[in-house]
């Protein structure tokens, strides 16, 4: 008798627990909705980032060469042709891109092997 009561109690407890989990999932889904601003910046970042296999443009190539001279992000960005006002931000963004880091490593290895 006690065993039956115990099982019913446990069954009811598990059902309530599952209902709470389902309601928390629906709340988190509403929290994960993207705002138009987020989509805009995400698309802009994807366009800027490009693919690893994409070739560097001329300013990016120049940035890599200039960065290897003194390892100063802002000065390298200015010498590469970026605006003085946004050079620090642009240089930081460029260094966060995988294709720029790969180009820096290749150029560094090329200069070491010479």
DSSP per position, 49-92:
H--TTSPP-HHHHHHHHHHHHH--HHHHHHHHT--TTTHHHHHH
Whole-prediction pTM? 0.58
Return the minimum-mean-pLDDT range out of 3-7, 43-47, 54-58, 102-106: 3-7
Over residues 43-77, the pLDDT tens digits come to 777 776 667 667 888 999 999 999 999 999 999 99
109 against 52, higher pLDDT: 109
What is the structure's pLDDT at 36?
Answer: 79
pLDDT at residue 22 above 60?
no
What is the structure's pLDDT at 31?
Answer: 61
24 against 15, higher pLDDT: 15
């Amino acid at each position: 008798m006690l065993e039956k009561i115990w099982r019913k109690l446990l069954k009811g407890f598990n059902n309530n627990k599952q209902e709470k989990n389902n309601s928390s999932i629906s709340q988190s889904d509403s929290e994960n909705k993207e705002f138009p601003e987020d989509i805009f910046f995400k698309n802009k970042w994807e366009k800027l980032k490009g693919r690893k296999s994409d070739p560097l443009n001329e300013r990016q190539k120049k940035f890599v060469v200039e960065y290897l001279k003194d390892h100063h992000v802002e000065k390298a960005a200015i010498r590469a042709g970026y605006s003085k006002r946004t050079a620090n931000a642009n240089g930081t963004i460029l260094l966060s891109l995988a294709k720029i880091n790969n180009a820096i490593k290749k150029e560094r290895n090329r200069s070491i092997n010479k």
